[in-house]
Structure 1
């Protein structure tokens, strides 16, 4: 394969360099708050004292096995094309690390507990919005100054009006950004994603040929209570927990709830019917849930609600998933089993490195190539190349 596509990677500048990359004002504000993130983000740490530059040599060992801010091009995205050459990757989406921190501040009601700050002294939402704007400025600058093979993702805040969402998206597209992400945990503009009032946003993304994505770390606060895992020893976050994901059994097996909710409303509410060219990605939220979701949606749409959905859907729900939606499995998931069990969804599963985050695993390409050795014919080409084209169009 000579055209491997990677639909999930990250920048990973430590907070000590945030001023250099994202602006001295935001760095000063973060420093004043005094976030307790040294101990809370044990893996993918936001703070790496002593790291002052992106100088690690680009080798097979460093690009496939080294994780964190010291990995080559974790900080300086101008080096990323050389990293892609070493990895044998043609194009790559680059999601935020700094920007995910910002989105947690904006959208997670428990952000103060997870990031460690006094909500009575600090307006986390205001600081988060400022940081999102700084990320988007950085993404636009990288887009202008780096190869089109490297595509930073812009963040659209949705706790606002539809018109403002469209304005944000248009501003980023006009600055060259070729992919967008929205928070998964809040109804956009206070409405169902399938509400026709949201159509101007979906229409803009579809007509601009720009994918809309959701990503791990934007699902905090989706459930009305965070008590489901509290006080249970086996659900205590592990030493590998990150700002995106407090790794423990309960959270790991429920991270897809938010994505299922959003995508179900979009499919059954006719978003992909009204906007057939809309490109949508659910990133780093596992992939084993997609097949059962498709079966469930088809069952209800073709049975109990056939007459109600007549005039809203012209295809089976699973066909919209296959045409419009892409998801990324973790490197340890049984991806060949998904291709075998759900052949009608063979277009949905995409390769991602999560570079240089630890959740991406080491030698992920080799591991997943081996896992697909017994998959149906053509699955490997779909997984590594053609499926990702929906989110990384040429």
Structure 2
């Protein structure tokens, strides 16, 4: 069996099948609102009226070239082990598509603008909370009924209290879920991730060997003003935009801001010192920022704040990043250059297909292997297998 690990894939049931997959109650509430975005996104489209089921044959062409809801096992995760066999992948995390839509409703104050619904008539936040619960029910059922090679990620909402976060996480873990996801754009429970009040949450995840992740699509609203790009023609989202990412240069090149923000607070605030076995992933938020972040934190910790941090950190910040944090590059990023420039944190970089989303590119395994062709074989093995074990332990 292959040892390649894939730390980012998705379910992608279309709007028309949400009732069948996630339950009639939440589907009817969503249909009642009539979210404009659900029928107008061209990239990773959420509405596919002619698709009636998950019947596409599983072969090299369909698993590496076909994108969207018609790709095999985009809808029926019971078919995913056969897809993994065809792709030569041992284990895979499965992030939400439906659930990302739900989280944006809960956490993005501008969701009504982006999603196209009347905020005075419909409570988007309440509907989002119901949809998150429906996703978690689905994730637990797939975890129970499908191979352990396929690991749906449970969502933990952070808009309430730490006690609520702990209860959500504990419930997910008790249901067998082996990875968690929190929003990237808001302070968890209204506090710094490094605040001592969050320690019970981090401790629970660490002791259960369950990684905590953030993911593209939950970064919306981190930059509170939209004026930075509004009215500039070159920053207008293209027709390839999706609910995860409005494709345009400004947004694409700053999607990592929320990840850097959260991870910096966790490292410098001693979270990984206090919880050395905590597993953390920043998924589909690019990877070129990881090495420079390690350098920057090391410089500040060793100079200006050496005295202040001496009782908080026993290692260099880059060592915590290398030990506890994983990131995923897009298929077009120059991986060999990242390895050459930052070998000390190469353990952060992991392979991800983003299957079946278009952002994952086609033949990503071949493309990224070629990108690393000049690197040592050990670096390629780390990228495709060893590094990912932190987020997908055996």
Q: TM-score by structure 1 length?
A: 0.99
Q: 1:11 deviation in Å? A: 0.1
Could you give the per-residue CA deviations for residues 291-311 of structure 1, whole angstroms, max 9, x where no partner exists? Answer: 111111001000000000011
Residue in 1 that maps onto 2:136: 136
The superposition leaves residues 83-123 of structure 1 with CA deviations (integer Å, 9 ceiling, x where unpaired) of: 00000000000000000000010001111111110101110
- 1:294 maps to 294
Quote the residue 2:49 is aligned against: 49
Q: Alpha-carbon deviations, 1:41-78, whole Å to 9, x = none?
A: 21001111111100000000000000000000000000
- 1:156–1:165 Cα contact (<8 Å) kept: yes
Q: Distance in 2 between matches of 1:55 and 1:123?
A: 36
Cα distance, 1:227 vs. partner? 1.4
Match of 2:371 in 1: 371
- Gaps spanning 5+ residues in structure 1: where? none
Q: Partner residue of 1:118?
A: 118
Counterparts of 1:172-191 in structure 2, within 5 Å, are 172-191=172-191
Contact 1:281 1:391 in 2 (8 A): yes
1:61 is aligned to: 61
Contact 1:183–1:219 under 8 Å retained in 2: yes
Kept after mapping to 2: 8 A contact 1:37/1:47: no
Do 1:5 and 1:351's aligned partners in 2 also have CA atoms closer than 8 Å? yes
Contact 1:180-1:212 at 8 Å conserved across structures: yes
Alpha-carbon offset, residue 37 of structure 1: 1.8
Q: Distance in 1 between matches of 2:218 and 2:126?
A: 17
Structure 1 Cα separation of the partners of residues 79 and 307 of structure 2: 55
Question: 4+ residue runs of structure 1 moved beyond 6 angstroms?
Answer: none
What does 1:1-394 correspond to in 2, within 5 Å?
2-38=2-38, 40-394=40-394
SS of 1:81 mapped into structure 2 = helix
1:243-281 CA-to-partner distances (Å, cap 9, x unmatched) read: 000000000000000000000000000000000000000
Look up the SS of the partner of 2:348 in the other structure: coil
For residues 15 and 57 of structure 1, the distance between their equivalents in structure 2, rounded to whole angstroms, comes to 22
CA contact (8 A) 2:5 2:388 kept: yes
Cα deviation, residue 377, structure 1? 4.2
In the aligned structure 2, how far is the partner of 1:114 from the partner of 1:70?
25
Do the aligned partners of 2:15 and 2:38 also contact (CA within 8 Å) in 1? no
Superposed CA offset, 1:339-381 (max 9, x none): 1100001111000000000000000000011111001341100
Contact 1:340–1:376, Cα closer than 8 Å, also in 2: no
**CA–CA separation in structure 1 for the residues paired with 2:214 and 2:300:** 25
Q: What do you get for the CA RMSD once the two structures are aligned?
A: 0.8
Structure 2 length-normalised TM:
0.99
